[in-house]
Amino acid sequence: MRDKWSSKLGFILAAAGSAVGLGNIWKFPYSVGTNGGGAFVAIYIVFLIIIGAPLMLAAITLGRKTQLSVFGAYKSIDSRWSFVGTLGVICGFFILAFYSTVGGWVLYYFKSAISGALNITDPNSLGEIFNSLMNSPKELILYQFIFMLSTVAIVLKGISGGIEKASKVMMPALFIMLIIIALRSLTLDGSMAGIRFLFVPDLSKITMDVVMNALGQMFFSLSIGMGVMVTYGSYLDKKENILNTGVIIPAIDTAVALIAGIAIIPAVFALGFEASEGPGLMFVTLPAVFASMPMGIIFCIVFFLLVIFAALTSSISMLEVAISYFVDEKQKSRVPTTLIIGLLIFILGIPASLSMGAWKDLGLIGNLNFFDLYDKLTSNILLPTGGFLLCIFVGWILKAEEAVKEIESSGIKFKLAGLWCFLIKYVVPIAIFIILVNSYRDFFLSLL
């Protein structure tokens, strides 16, 4: 018998956990810092309402209707579209290969925070710690292995016994820790400058790049393009109300991103650091920010623990996409399948782990090392392609009106059905197509 979520709350926390990951706590704050602050946030929220929520509902509805893995969901309605499910499985493989690399970095920093090694106020010295890690192959692979092992251990126990139970603990804990750090950040002198930067839009900062970056951040943050939400939706009971999940999950995802922004940006402003630091904000600037606070080392430990939780709630969802394919379509047993797939992804991730140090100059295609190739292949090609095809499939192949019948089959009335059908058939595909054109262009330019 196919496993199911034991409760609606369990599903929401697991699905939100999939969406809430390094993209919210690592990428969102530095994207705000490098894209004009409040202008970026405002555009992000508009895109979330118009595109993110409708697409989230489409993915969950497809999964709940078919009760199959992402591959089986497409195949059962139109076998010619089963390749979209295959893309989702492949995408999950490659994302988790480099995601587990960054997860390993976070584990290393958590250990370093506990030992007091990060209690340094000089960003240059912290930069040397990061560079030292990047040039330590044994430590990189060890921590990547530990992260992957933790992911496998949760997924081994299935949906209700593993993913749901873990999410019910990690998601509330993540929220509590993040709010504690945000409150601490707000008590610092000068923090209000960071709040103004975060929430007061400066319209002069809006450029096409800012708009595209906000659209991309919203799209990739919600974990839609790789089939996670289709897979998770397939474990829902037919009596569950799925209409509100299309709102609740994006709302939780955005709330975490905004609270992460409140936890980080005001503290960066208050203590005189640069919000536009970029990707190094979490690993170089933030430890310096914490070290500059009274009792900062405690907040540093708590912060990296919550990032571990965020990373794990996402990684288990990525692994489940592949596992559900083999269990549902190939009739394989969950335990050996999870162990084998987990090992394969770990091996696939080793070159990504070494790409910032020992294999830094080893370009696999063009100028891209393994880490960058995995990242750009998934972010620029597979994810937006999967999201675009999902939208076309639900809107035009399954038909949006049929999807509405599935949504209402649990006895609810979808009052905005007409608007949702219009968005999913016309507005969302056009918006994602714009992402696709830019993503494909950026990917192929990076190969030159």
pLDDT per position as a tens digit, 265-294: 998 888 887 777 666 678 887 888 888 888
Give the pLDDT mean for 354-365. 76
Residue 251 has pLDDT above 70, yes or no: yes
pLDDT tens, position by position, 388-400: 999 999 999 999 9
pLDDT of residue 364: 64
Residue 216 has pLDDT above 80, yes or no: no
pLDDT tens, position by position, 128-145: 998 999 999 999 999 999
pLDDT tens, position by position, 26-80: 888 888 988 989 999 999 999 899 988 999 999 999 999 999 999 999 999 999 9
Domains in the chain: ranges and CATH? 8-360 (1.10.4160.10)
Residue 296 has pLDDT above 90, yes or no: no
pLDDT of residue 96: 93
pLDDT band at 4 (very low <50, low <70, confident <90, very high): confident
Q: Is the separation of the CB atoms in 106 and 328 below 8 Å? A: no
Residues belonging to the chain: 448
